[in-house]
């Protein structure tokens, strides 16, 4: 079984904003969950059978037909009691985007025959009922109405959230545009990302 992550990487300006924000949070709060992750927007993560690697070209062929997807980043926000970490996850918001949601749905359909339900544990994470149904059906909990694309900064304990330092970020008005021209498939092992494939969309 392999754990895959399918990701988007932001442009230079957004990447720099993310790195500089992560650096400030590390100086202020020390080592925290996700601070060491490179800037990205997760389309999905999924456990797949080992035969996926032998058939990756058919997936690439289907994904390549997509055209560029414009996305907008606006404001910092957080997920209270993130079901993955149990902490509060601070992120840079991606505005609602139908094309991004459609991309996720279509990739999940392509991966369905390779999906592995091994090691599914309802009690491992604090998923709500819809998220857990999605996990069983699609192999990923954050689908359709549960899909909120974002760029993660870090995950912090409740006690930090009264700090003016954090509250200032939630009041910041920011707006960045980006054009998604490709996606990346990574293998995740021991919480480390290992690139398998970069897929460029049709121009």
Q: What is the mean pLDDT of residues 163-176?
A: 92
> Domain range holding 169?
2-200
Confidence of residue 123 (pLDDT cuts 50, 70, 90): low
Quote the pLDDT of residue 117: 76
Closest residue by Cα to residue 43 from 188, 122, 179, 140: 140
Quote the pLDDT of residue 191: 80
CATH code for position 184 = 3.90.1140.10
Quote the pLDDT of residue 66: 87
Quote the pLDDT of residue 125: 79
Quote the pLDDT of residue 161: 87
Domain count, the chain: 1
Q: What percent of the chain has pLDDT over 70?
A: 96
Closest residue by Cα to residue 155 from 203, 81, 89, 57: 89
**Average pLDDT taken over every residue of the chain:** 92
d(C-alpha 19, C-alpha 35), whole Å? 9
Quote the pLDDT of residue 118: 64
d(C-alpha 21, C-alpha 146), whole Å? 26
Quote the pLDDT of residue 15: 96
Confidence of residue 122 (pLDDT cuts 50, 70, 90): low
Instruction: Point out the least confidently predicted range of 7-21, 92-106, 109-123.
Output: 109-123
3-state secondary structure the chain: CEEEEEEECCCHHHHHHHHHHHHHHHHHHCCCECCCCCCCEEEEEEEECHHHHHHHHHHHHHHCCCECEEEEEEEEEEECCCCCCCCEEEEEEECCCHHHHHHHHHHHHHHHHHECCCCCCCCCCCCCHHHHHHHHHHCCCCCHHHCCCEEEEEEECHHHHHCHHHHHHHHCCCCEEEEECEEEEEEEECCEEEEEEEEECEC
Quote the tokens at residue 24: 């400030």
Quote the tokens at residue 112: 């369905």
Which position has the higher pLDDT, 203 or 108?
Answer: 108
Is pLDDT of 7 > 90? yes
Is pLDDT of 110 > 80? yes
Which positions ≥6 away from 150 have C-beta within 8 Å? 41, 77, 91, 92, 93, 94
d(C-alpha 134, C-alpha 58), whole Å? 24
Q: What is the mean pLDDT of residues 57-83?
A: 91
Is pLDDT of 203 > 80? no
Q: Are 82 and 31 in contact (CB under 8 A)?
A: no
Confidence of residue 121 (pLDDT cuts 50, 70, 90): low
Q: What is the mean pLDDT of residues 106-130?
A: 82
Q: What percent of the chain has pLDDT over 90?
A: 75
């Amino acid at each position: 079984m392999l754990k895959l992550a399918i990701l988007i990487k932001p442009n230079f300006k957004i990447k720099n904003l993310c790195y500089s924000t992560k650096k400030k949070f590390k100086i202020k709060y020390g080592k925290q969950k996700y601070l060491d992750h490179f800037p990205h927007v997760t389309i999905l993560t999924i456990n797949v059978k080992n035969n996926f690697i032998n058939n990756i070209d058919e997936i690439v062929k289907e994904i390549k037909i997509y055209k560029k997807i414009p996305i907008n980043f606006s404001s910092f926000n957080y997920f209270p009691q993130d079901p993955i970490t149990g902490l509060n996850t601070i992120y840079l918001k991606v505005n609602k985007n139908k094309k991004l949601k459609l991309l996720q749905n279509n990739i999940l359909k392509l991966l369905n025959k390779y999906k592995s339900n091994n090691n599914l544990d309802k009690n491992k994470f604090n998923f709500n009922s819809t998220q857990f149904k999605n996990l069983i059906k699609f192999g990923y909990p954050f689908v359709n109405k549960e899909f909120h694309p974002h760029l993660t900064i870090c995950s912090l304990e409740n006690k930090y959230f009264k700090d003016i330092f954090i509250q200032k970020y939630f009041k910041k008005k920011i707006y960045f545009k980006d054009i998604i021209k490709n996606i990346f498939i990574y293998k995740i092992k021991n919480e480390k990302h290992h690139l398998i494939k970069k897929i460029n969309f049709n121009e």
